[in-house]
Amino acid sequence: MGNKVGIFSDEQMDAYQDCTFFTKKEILRIFKRYRELAPEHIPKSMPPGETSKFRLPYSQIEKMAEIKENPFRQRICEVFSEDGSGDLTFDDFLDMFSVFSEAAPRDIKTVYAFKIYDFDGDNYLNKQDLELTLKCLTKEELTPEEVSFVVDKVLEETDLDDDGMLSYIEFEHVISRSPDFLK
């Protein structure tokens, strides 16, 4: 029995279901949303193995209602794009929606939150990462002195090994004490 819609092969759909928290119907709805962002560039069906061939530029994705007001929208797209550019293939787009879905477990959301805040990609949240995070959160309305003060306080409270940065384990510890963080 084949996929009635014909957008993806049965094997593609099974793989998407295995790698996400979505049903077939939800995956097809997300593909429709992806295609609506640039219908002239995205074919109505995706041949097997070609889902990574088509990319939507960040400039199209940032306009989506789901992220356009998010101060981390560019960083989110950079983290989910396979090449770090912010341009997303359908696979990247689906991964992004999957991680942000209500069905995604807290530990997966925590991993991606850490990646989003790790601006320099060194697997630590150092002072510069925390400053950039704070600037995004406050829309750069704090003075440099206020930013520095808040970052120092955050590190004082959360940097358990006093190395001047947060490891993933330290970040996870903070998140576990903050149940509303991931909402």
- Within-domain flag for 89: yes
Task: Give percent above pLDDT 90 in the chain.
Answer: 79
Hey, which bits of 10-151 come out as E strands? 55-56, 88-89
Number of domains in the chain: 2
Pair (115, 162) in one structural domain: yes
Pair (138, 165) in one structural domain: yes
Q: What's the CATH code of the domain at 116?
A: 1.10.238.10
Pair (18, 86) in one structural domain: yes
pTM value? 0.90
pLDDT confidence bin for 183, thresholds 50/70/90: low
Over residues 5-32, the pLDDT tens digits come to 568 888 899 999 999 999 999 999 999 9
Mean of pLDDT values over 161-176:
96
The whole domain housing 81 covers 10-45+54-99
Which own/partner contact pairs does 24-30 have at CB distance under 8 Å and 24+ positions apart?
A: 27/94, 30/93, 30/94, 30/97
Pair (61, 114) in one structural domain: no
Question: Is pLDDT of 178 > 50?
Answer: yes
